[in-house]
Amino acid sequence: MKVRLADIAHARSGDKGDTANVGVIALRPEWYALMVRELSEARVAAHFHGMITGGVQRYELPNLHALNFLLHGALDGGGTLSLKTDAQGKVFSTAMLRLILEVPDAEGATLGLPDAKG
Amino acid sequence: MKSVVRIASGQGFWGDWLAAPRRQVEGGPVDYLMLDYLAEVTMSILQKQKERDPAMGYARDFVGAIDSVLEAIVERGVRVIANAGGVNPRACGDAILALADKRGARGKLKLGVVTGDDLLPRLDQLIAEGHALANMETGEPLAAIRDRVLSANAYIGSVPIVDALAFGANVVITGRSTDTALTMAPLRHEFGWKADDWDRLAAGIIAGHIIECGAQCSGGNCLHEWQSIPDLANVGYPIVEARRDGTFEIIKHPGTGGRISVPSVTEQLVYEMGDPHAYITPDVVADFTSIRLEATGQDRVRVFGIRGAPATDKLKVSIAYRAGFKAVGTLVYSWPDAMAKATLADRVLRERFTMLGLSFDAILTEFVGVNSTHGPLAGDGHANDEVQLRIGVRSSDRTMVERFTRELAPLVLNGPPSVTGFAGGRPKVEEIVAYWPALVDKTVVMPQVEIVE
């Protein structure tokens, strides 16, 4: 089944120079392990292809059921240099939540995952 | 000695809700009011203002904030800590004293002004002594842009603020102190936490991180179940209710709007986060992976289990430097086929840049839009009803950017149809003041506290 990240997590993002940080927080504790497995650095880098010029780093915060991603080269130089509307990476959070995960049907049923319609 | 200390957050950045400081001191019991005015971008704006007028360079909103809470400071002993000093803390102090004169409160305000963060006068000496002040992102030495540097400020920790409180200051003004130090300092002052009590110090830093962005932890800008967050018009700013053992709760005043929940606090915890194992501050390295959260009541979240590690021997330095020019212009294209029209306009513009021999370090086109041109007639499908063409350029050559600003308006008559939104006139050319993060040895920065009455 297909699962939209927006249906199983919430997120907030901000900036450090030319790097955007995106914190992704599981809506239910039991969905955190799935996020850890599916949201690899490579997967997230592929998702943001065309939006970032640098690499992706991931950190785990199991107590908070959250992952923190650093997206390098995300902000056209960052801060005052940037020409972007989102010069401080404030909505990279929701851009991340557009990600669609492929989850085996049986696992989806066990975890009570919402199906991404359409 | 207090067993519980309440620190209220009243501003999360320069430009935040003007009513918040007063609401925080009038809405219920608080011991301290913490006002955070500084962001990376703010420092460069303040620096530009100081260039135009040497008596400026601080967050002027702070004067109004103190005006609005003066009675609480003088009558009820609420103490205020703010990094409103920006690049000119003494001028900020002078403005507060002038206000005290005007309000007949001179003699009742004791200001602690923290200085010593300004490294600009010592920059050449520091470089000569071998401090490269290399850019933390690119590794380039500061010498490469030395002639374009406008300001250089070290991030100062909580120690000088604690000193100012110990001297009896009821208003403490700092320049570039860390945002978190503003919350940490009163906790160290009240509870006497030792300089190597890493777990408690880390708790103080994390308390500061949670409330430093004002209502961003109490329902503001909160994605989690945002539709049901009550009464944002009256959103309650957060308060840390801290105990000596380093545990604390995040609360807000009763009867205020917004929401404090485990998800709302978690969103703020991950905001502007780097490596969560090592959140580095001048006072301590805090481990965000150790944090535990628990809802302990309505709009009440307990934070505990926090671990810290010894501070490093470096301080971060925030350097602002001139980095060329930019301009951003917009035009709005309307239904039908708005996107196709805007796309064609972008292509026409870029062809004209080529014909004029204009070259830029960067050109960025974005397409923005929903229903500003046809109002309710646009319906709720939002399928390409209108598109704002937003195009920006950047160059070290000011004349190139100037020329760009004259190329947008002609498109209104000689480009694609159904265009509007040009009444603002030509885009403005802005000088870019860019940010250069660096590290410096702690031993070369000597913060000072001046007590002014």
Q: What is chain A's alpha carbon radius of gyration, rounded to the nearest angstrom?
A: 15
What are B160-208's pLDDT values in tens digits? 999 999 999 999 999 999 999 999 999 999 999 999 999 999 999 999 9
From A14's Cα to the closest Cα of chain B, the distance in A is: 5
Closest-CA distance of chain B to residue A32, Å: 14
> pLDDT value at position B187?
98
Does any CB of chain B come closer than 8 Å to the CB of residue A60?
Answer: yes
pLDDT tens column, B310-362: 999 999 999 999 999 999 999 999 999 999 999 999 999 999 999 999 999 99
Chain B partners of A17 at a C-beta cutoff of 8 Å? 40, 136-137, 435, 437
Q: Which residues of B touch A94 (CB under 8 A)?
A: 223
Residue B382's pLDDT band, with cuts at 50, 70 and 90, is low
Is the Cβ–Cβ distance between B386 and B374 less than 8 Å?
yes
Both tokens assigned to B372: 């500003």
What is the rounded distance in angstroms from the CA atom of residue B202 to the CA atom of residue B286?
5
Secondary structure of residue B33 in the 3-state scheme: strand
Beta bridge partners of B177: B156
Cβ–Cβ gap A21/B274 under 8 Å: yes
Q: Residues B274-298: pLDDT tens digits?
A: 999 999 999 999 999 999 999 999 9
- Work out the number of other CB atoms within 10 angstroms of the CB of residue B13: 17
Say if CB B116 and CB B152 are below 8 A apart.
Answer: no
ipTM of the complex: 0.95
Which residues of chain A are within 8 Å of residue B268 when distances are taken between CB atoms? 12
Q: CA B111, B43, B275, A3 torsion: positive or negative?
A: positive
Q: How far apart are CA B427 and CA B44, in angstroms?
A: 21
Residues of A with Cβ-Cβ distance to B273 under 8 angstroms: 14, 21, 23, 59, 68
Count CB atoms within 10 A of the CB of residue B241: 20
pLDDT-above-70 percentage for chain B = 99
Residue B444: what residue type?
V
Q: pTM of this prediction?
A: 0.95
In angstroms, rounded to a whole number, what is the distance separating the alpha carbons of residues A84 and A80? Answer: 10
| Per-residue model confidence as pLDDT tens for chain A (118 residues) | 999 999 999 999 999 989 999 999 999 999 999 999 999 999 999 999 999 999 999 999 999 999 999 999 999 998 889 999 999 999 999 999 999 999 999 999 999 999 997 5
**Residue of B155, B179, B222, B270 best to disrupt the A interface, most CBs of A under 10 A:** B270
Chain A, nearest residue to B323 by Cα: A81
